[in-house]
Structures are given as structure tokens and as C-alpha cells.
Amino acid sequence: MIVGVDGSESSIAALRVAGALAEPLSARVEAWACWDVPAGYGVYLAVGIEGFRYAADQVLQQTLTDAFGDLPGFVHPRLVRGKPGPVLIDASRNASLLVVGRRGHGRFVPGSVSSACVGHAHCPVLVVHAPEQETGMHHAQARTSGVP
């Protein structure tokens, strides 16, 4: 099982869901953080790109800590260079399940990475939403959801 990790609340939730699914099955979870050199940073290629890799590793480690506290033995972190969508889609060829968080805009628009994974992955994809903050509007919708 592969989980896309980017430090967002939804990727923390995705890790927790993957952990809950994997543990009773004695399955392995690979937490993948993708990194790359941003466009326009060609000069950094000559100077070095380790700062970008280091920053991604820090995000990965913090996300794992936020999700689990102490890292369970069945969770294995991995840094991968490349854009998240294509990297995760390619990785799905050898995965039993791909788990990603939803970072879209608004309640009904998924993010570009989760959309790409759902549309093109080679294995089942589970899209996990971040826990919602309860607001007055959300509360009102919850109270009226069963009303015709």
C-alpha cells in the first residue's frame, strides 16, 4: 500500500486510514513524499539541489510524527524525486492500494493529484478527506440533511 504524503491535513488523515487498514492485515505501508526542483530554478542545479530534498524529508518526517507519533514498524518512509501525480501513478503498478489525501478547492472539487490518481492509477485508489472543522454552516447542513 502506497500513501502520498505532502504535509497537509488530508495526507495526515490518509496515513492514519492506511495504518488502520494495514495493521490488522499485517500489510506494509509506504509513505511516499515526492520532491523536485521547482521550475525556474536551473541555477540551483549547478549549486546543488539537496536543499529541496532536505525540505521534503522534513515534511515527510513531520507528517509521519503528526499521523502516528512513534512510527509503526509496518510504515516505511520514502523520498522520491518527481512530480507527485506521475510518480504515484507509476508506483501504483506494483501497489495493492494507493491512498491519497484530497486537497481540492471547495467541498466538491478534488485536487489535481488525487484526480490524476483516480483517473489513471493501475490499482484501487482511496481518497481521504481531511477532518472538517465544524462551522455554523456545516452544522446547519448536518441538521437539515434528512429534511425534504
- Give 1-11 pLDDT, tens digit per residue: 999 999 999 99
Give the residues across from 34 on adjacent strands: 80
Q: How confident is the model at residue 138 (pLDDT cuts 50, 70, 90)?
A: very low
Q: Rounded to 5 degrees, what are φ and ψ at 32?
A: -100, 125
Average pLDDT, the chain: 82
pLDDT tens-digit series, residues 47-78: 567 788 899 999 999 999 999 999 999 999 99
Task: Band the pLDDT of 107: cuts 50, 70, 90.
Answer: very low
Between 16-20, 85-89, 111-115, the lowest mean confidence (pLDDT) is in: 111-115
Contacts of 74 (CB under 8 A, 6+ apart): 19, 22, 23, 26, 27, 28, 29
CA dihedral 140, 142, 146, 148 (to 10 degrees): 30
Residue 104 has pLDDT above 80, yes or no: no
Q: Is the pLDDT of residue 110 over 60?
A: no
**Count, residues in the chain:** 148
Q: What is the arithmetic mean of pLDDT over 92-114?
A: 75
- Say if residues 15 and 68 touch (Cβ distance below 8 Å): yes
| Pairwise CA distance, residues 146 & 148, whole Å | 6
> Quick one: pLDDT band at residue 41, thresholds 50, 70, 90?
low
**Three-state secondary structure call for residue 79:** strand
How many CB atoms are closer than 10 A to CB 133? 7
pLDDT-based confidence at residue 93 (cuts at 50, 70, 90): very high
Report the predicted TM-score, pTM, of the whole model to 2 decimal places.
Answer: 0.79
